[in-house]
Amino acid sequence: MAGGAGFIGSHIVDRLLKNDMEVTVLDNLYTGLLENIENCRGKREFRFVQGDVRDFDLVKSIVKNVDAVFKRARSLGYAPKFTLERGMRELVEWYSKRVS
Ligand SMILES: NC(=O)c1ccc[n+]([C@@H]2O[C@H](COP(=O)([O-])OP(=O)(O)OC[C@H]3O[C@@H](n4cnc5c(N)ncnc54)[C@H](O)[C@@H]3O)[C@@H](O)[C@H]2O)c1
């Protein structure tokens, strides 16, 4: 869950954990808060990675064994939005090639 420490992302994380899923949150805490995911910390199924979704190598290492990627990282302004979306598109393309 990219942006999992944010308002919407943290609620999705709660729901996924309630459904017995393993969740990794990637968040740079730009606007997100650790207190939003405080209730998840310590759970075996939960992992928090502080980092940026535009860090392609980091994202690639995190998604190695995942079934789904959610993006709730808020993009602020035109340039960051473009970069974020391009980064996620490249990631999805990389992942699609890997699983096909
Ligand atoms: N809150 C709403 O009512 C609402 C409604 C409709 C759509 N949205 C959209 O949903 C998304 C999330 O909204 P929100 O209210 O949860 O925002 P938020 O700011 O609470 O959450 C965004 C999260 O993304 C993280 N983040 C930002 N840039 C990042 C990056 N480069 N790498 C990693 N993490 C990064 C932030 O630290 C934060 O935790 C936004 O795109 C927003 O436009 C929100």
Q: Could you tell me which residues come within 8 angstroms of residue 3 by beta carbon, excluding any fewer than 6 positions away?
A: 9, 26, 27, 32, 53, 71, 72, 73, 74
To test the pocket of ligand 1, the residue of 72, 82, 83, 88 to mutate (highest count of ligand atoms within 8 Å of its CB) is 72
Q: Is 9 in the pocket of ligand 1 (CB under 6 A)?
A: yes
> Phi and psi for 59 in degrees, rounded to 5?
-60, -45
Q: Is 83 in the pocket of ligand 1 (CB under 6 A)?
A: no
Q: The domain at 7-99 falls in which architecture?
A: 3-Layer(aba) Sandwich (3.40)
Q: Is 60 in the pocket of ligand 1 (CB under 6 A)?
A: no
Residues in a beta bridge with 50:
27
What are the sequence ranges of the domains in the chain?
A: 7-99
Q: What percent of the chain has pLDDT over 90?
A: 50
Contact 1, 17 (CB under 8 A): no
Q: 72-89 pLDDT, tens per residue?
A: 777 654 445 555 566 666
**Predicted TM-score (pTM) above 0.85:** no
Distance of CA 35 to the CA centre of its chain: 16
The predicted structure's pLDDT at residue 100: 47
Q: Is 87 in the pocket of ligand 1 (CB under 6 A)?
A: no
The predicted structure's pLDDT at residue 10: 96
pLDDT > 80? residue 98: no
> Phi and psi for 20 in degrees, rounded to 5?
65, 30
What's the whole-number average pLDDT of the chain?
83
